[in-house]
A and B are shown apart, each in its own frame.
Chain A
């Protein structure tokens, strides 16, 4: 069973957080898609931040188990993000690695630093996408985290599927989320009475931002993903938005996870 956008929120919703040490059962998982890595990671980070630890039933599948181990998945998300030192942040291990999870600390130039790395990795790995354009889109998402999340750490995950001719990148945080961020701008204060998915839809409109006069980033990401023939999946709170070649769909997630988690799925140019 793949853990992906379609299933990871149901997994999180099924965990009984009233127990002393809630159990996360991953025994049936054979593959982790980038969105699910970011979403599950943010679930752990959010709850760990609030003093809750989890028991884990590891995947029966050896490949899935070793993948999580290689990514230091449990060590990475089992700490208080307020106390991590910069030296402990895990970046790309090689300049050609396309299967890494990357920690992102909130600082002024983090978006451009990661954009440069993403572009380099895509080009060095000969992925047939517009590397600079894809890196620009990742940059917009990370800049949104740095400006709006009010949390110290986010995460990026990338996977390349050579047989499917597709690269998938996910960015996530467990910060204040789109609805609370936008509604801090008096112009969009009304969104506090809206659902998370309605607030997320508004966020894709141009010149919509908590900062008056800003708000081109998500619009640009949406338009470019469509132009590239890709798909954008975004979750915030208990809302989701999926934008692709079939149009825009939105609705409710099974779990209400704070912050914003986004996945870009970009096909290669054949």
Chain B
């Protein structure tokens, strides 16, 4: 399986536009076999970047051809994206076997209307 560093596809990895850019570049590689994208060694990888990357791959049904080589912080973000997008995301964490990310479902937040914000001050 071929492995490519995420920084070869896009850098820095912090906006949706960069994630979509990385996905487009990856499309030159994806299709014949699975490919590993290595996210290690990049300090900042935002959820928007990952969502842009994954959702762009989903549009062309290629997300299952990609294995993401990641660290635990990124795994949590991918779990949220898997939950939001109902996406199948494969990952490899710390050299372990390839697994599917378990989706984390969105938690709704209750809110309270406070007409006069001064009431909140203390």
A interface residues, Cβ below 8 angstroms from B: 5-6, 108-109, 111-112, 115-116, 119, 132, 135-136, 139-140, 143, 197, 201, 204, 206-207, 213-214, 216-217, 219-220, 222-223, 240-243, 247-253
Q: How many residues of B contact A (CB 8 A)?
A: 29
Pairwise interchain contact B113-A250, C-beta atoms closer than 8 A? yes
Interface residue ranges of B80-122 to A (CB < 8 Å): 80-81, 84, 106, 109-118, 120-121
Q: Give A214's nearest chain B residue, CB to CB.
A: B16
B34 part of interface (Cβ distance < 8 Å): no
Given contacts A143-B15, A206-B84, A253-B117, contact A247 B47 (CB under 8 A): no
Given contacts A115-B44, A140-B46, contact A207 B84 (CB under 8 A): yes
Q: Which of A136, A219, A248 contacts B111 (CB 8 A)?
A: A248
Q: Give A211's nearest chain B residue, CB to CB.
A: B16
| CB<8 Å pairs between A and B, sample of 20 | A5-B117, A112-B15, A115-B12, A115-B14, A116-B44, A136-B44, A139-B15, A140-B48, A216-B16, A220-B47, A222-B109, A243-B109, A248-B111, A249-B112, A249-B120, A250-B113, A250-B114, A251-B115, A251-B116, A251-B117
Q: Give A143's nearest chain B residue, CB to CB.
A: B15
The complex places the Cα of A108 from the Cα of B120 at a distance, in Å, of: 38
Pairwise interchain contact A6-B117, C-beta atoms closer than 8 A? yes
Pairwise interchain contact B44-A242, C-beta atoms closer than 8 A? no
Pairwise interchain contact A248-B120, C-beta atoms closer than 8 A? no
Q: Which of A6, A108, A119, A252 contacts B121 (CB 8 A)?
A: A6
The complex places the Cα of A215 from the Cα of B18 at a distance, in Å, of: 15
B63 part of interface (Cβ distance < 8 Å): no
The complex places the Cα of A250 from the Cα of B18 at a distance, in Å, of: 33
Residues of A within 8 A of B121 (CB): 6
Q: Which of B18, B48, B81, B114 contacts A249 (CB 8 A)?
A: B114
Q: Which of B12, B16, B55, B80 contacts A143 (CB 8 A)?
A: B16
Pairwise interchain contact B44-A248, C-beta atoms closer than 8 A? no
B43 part of interface (Cβ distance < 8 Å): yes
B interface residues, Cβ below 8 angstroms from A: 12, 14-18, 43-44, 46-48, 51, 55, 80-81, 84, 106, 109-118, 120-121
| Shortest Cβ distance from residue B39 to the other chain A in the assembled complex, whole angstroms | 13
The complex places the Cα of A49 from the Cα of B14 at a distance, in Å, of: 32
The complex places the Cα of A143 from the Cα of B51 at a distance, in Å, of: 14
Known: A139-B46, A220-B80. 13 other contacts (CB 8 A): A108-B17, A115-B14, A116-B12, A119-B44, A135-B14, A139-B44, A197-B113, A216-B16, A242-B117, A247-B109, A249-B120, A251-B113, A251-B115
| Shortest Cβ distance from residue A254 to the other chain B in the assembled complex, whole angstroms | 8
Pairwise interchain contact A248-B110, C-beta atoms closer than 8 A? yes
Pairwise interchain contact B120-A242, C-beta atoms closer than 8 A? yes
Pairwise interchain contact A249-B111, C-beta atoms closer than 8 A? yes
The complex places the Cα of A168 from the Cα of B80 at a distance, in Å, of: 26
Pairwise interchain contact B12-A136, C-beta atoms closer than 8 A? no
Q: Give B109's nearest chain A residue, CB to CB.
A: A248
Pairwise interchain contact A132-B51, C-beta atoms closer than 8 A? no
| Shortest Cβ distance from residue B103 to the other chain A in the assembled complex, whole angstroms | 13
Q: What 3 A-B pairs have minimum CB-CB distances, sorted nearest first?
A: A248-B111, A220-B47, A136-B46
The complex places the Cα of A250 from the Cα of B17 at a distance, in Å, of: 31
| Shortest Cβ distance from residue B122 to the other chain A in the assembled complex, whole angstroms | 10
Pairwise interchain contact B48-A143, C-beta atoms closer than 8 A? yes
Pairwise interchain contact A111-B116, C-beta atoms closer than 8 A? no
Q: Which of B14, B55, B80, B114 contacts A112 (CB 8 A)?
A: B14
Q: Give A119's nearest chain B residue, CB to CB.
A: B44
Given contacts A111-B14, A116-B12, A143-B15, contact A132 B110 (CB under 8 A): no
Q: Which of A132, A140, A214, A240 contacts B43 (CB 8 A)?
A: A132
